[in-house]
Amino acid sequence: MSLGKFRPEGPFETRLFINNEFVPAVSAKTFPTFNPATEKLIAEVAEGDAADVDIAVAVAKAAFDDGNGEWPRSTGPTRRDIMNKVAQLIEDNLEYLSSLESLDSGKPFSNAAYSAQVDLALVIKCYRYYAGWADKLMGKMIPIDAPDIFAYTRHEPIGVCGQIIPWNFPLLMMAWKIAPALACGNVVVLKTSEKTPLSALALCKLFKEAGVPPGVVNVLSGFGPTAGAAIAKHMDVDKVAFTGSTPVGKMIMSMAAESNLKKTSLELGGKSPLIVMPDADLDQAVQAAHIGLFLNQGQCCIASSRLYVHEDVYDEFVAKATEAARNWTTGDPMDPNTLNGAQVDKIQFDKILRYIAAGRTEGATLKCGGQRSGDKGYFIEPTIFADVKDDMKIAREEIFGPVMSILKFRTSDEVIRRANASPFGLGAGVISRDIGTALSMAHRLRAGTVYVNTYDVFDAAMPFGGFKQSGNGRELGEYGLHEYTEVKVVVVPLDAKL
């Protein structure tokens, strides 16, 4: 199936996807989605709310049928083949989906660093990775202390999985959640972000074409307080997965507990430290820091937004980093020379500029950037602050924008203490030529992912998640499957009549 030739003016699918059909919202309400690079309206999108969630959950529950529905009862090879077909259809429509992702989110379409096409490559790999697991899910025989008893475990699908994804990586976050859920035989009701709803709806056409049965994948566009909360509180949703801010994650956990004690997995905020040791290759360090911070215009939960540099190399690093940031081109997301696209919307744009103002007010030294780029679109110049202190707002709070804060340290013990002195623990990094030093520090850092001499490496086989208030559970890898299965023990006397 081809989604056709991409045209920036559309038309685009804007309805809700329920039971393998596109339908308007029950309320008939819509909301606008804008191109952040031009500030112009792209389309009016159906606004799902609690009434639509009820319908979607009902069809999903019927499709699951207490584990007796077509999808949960299907064989692993059947699910594998359908998921591989989804991946192939995405690959066949990569140009269209990458273009739509860029249009709706403001990220670069294609360049030599990071772009929507990089996202789509990871999306395809994620579906293929979990397709490979679909026919390899198995329990264990348990050698219990009773010679005449046969005991074994089964890994069974949980049921109706509510999933709420963010706006920064729409199709990738969708893949991280839907792929393991489908591989395990679950059914899904997913809510996209109201800021970037379009690419997920386009992808729904490909789910249907691939042969995913009705009711198994349902996708709603809408807002958190209405559609998102309805999913989290719904009595017929068995599990909820969420990626977003820590305050909202706490609300979802509370709703899940107060309703039917549904299972949760939460990937939340971060303020990740990247430590540059005195023996570091500074060119390598600058490259890691720039990918770690400026990827996706800084709109990345694991962004290396606290950069600790040893005092012996601090000034040299700041000079090199500032020069590199000035060459990090901001502009039209469809221009292949663009490395820094638009922030997702005016809310995010204004928030980042307030953080930049706070950095100046609190005494950090602005080395470059710090202002809007151009007079149209939500573009902000790559920004670097030096002389940042731990108690400054830009060093404590998640900015979610292209703002690099560079702090100075003297000893390893000191920087580990400072790096860990955060309520977050999503990611961290160490740059050092001494592998012993690097690994020792990696083991002492309290974070779910620690990069050594690199940053922002992602792979479908590698688990992702955080310590502390950066969430619970893991996505990706074999660990990601655990979030979508129940473990059942079956016990049978060997002399029992069957």
Which residues are tagged catalytic?
267, 301
- Separation of alpha carbons 274 and 307, rounded Å: 5
CB atoms within 10 A of CB 7: 10
Q: Which amino acid is at 183?
A: A
Give exposure, 353-390, as e/b (b: 16+ Cβ within 10 Å): bebbeebeeeebeebbbbeebeeebbbbbbbbbbbbee
φ and ψ of 493, to 5 deg: -65, 135
Residue 360, classed as helix, strand or coil, is: helix
**String of DSSP letters for 227-242:** IIHHHHH-TT--EEEE
**String of DSSP letters for 429-497:** EEE-S-HHHHHHHHHHS-SSEEEES------TTS-B--EETTEES-BSHHHHHHTTEEEEEEEEETT--
CB atoms within 10 A of CB 14: 20
Angle between helices 170-183 and 76-92 (to 10 degrees): 160
Q: What Å distances lie between residue 75 and 70, 136, 388, CA to CA?
A: 10, 11, 56
Q: Is-contact 164 155, C-beta < 8 A?
A: no
Two structure tokens written together for 49: 């709310």
Largest Cα separation within the chain, whole Å, is 81
Nearest CA among 158, 218, 250 for reference residue 484: 158
**String of DSSP letters for 316-335:** HHHHHHHHHHHTS-B--TTS
Any residues with CB less than 8 A from the CB of 65 and at least 6 apart, and which?
Answer: 72
Q: In angstroms, what is the C-alpha Rg of the chain?
A: 23
Q: Which amino acid is at 251?
A: M
Which residues sit opposite 242 in a β-bridge? 164, 266
Residue 420 has, within 13 A of its CA and on its CB side, a CA count of: 14
- Separation of alpha carbons 335 and 338, rounded Å: 6
Placement of tokens 């995405």 in the chain: 90
Residue 20, classed as helix, strand or coil, is: coil
- Separation of alpha carbons 72 and 186, rounded Å: 6
Q: Is-contact 299 293, C-beta < 8 A?
A: no
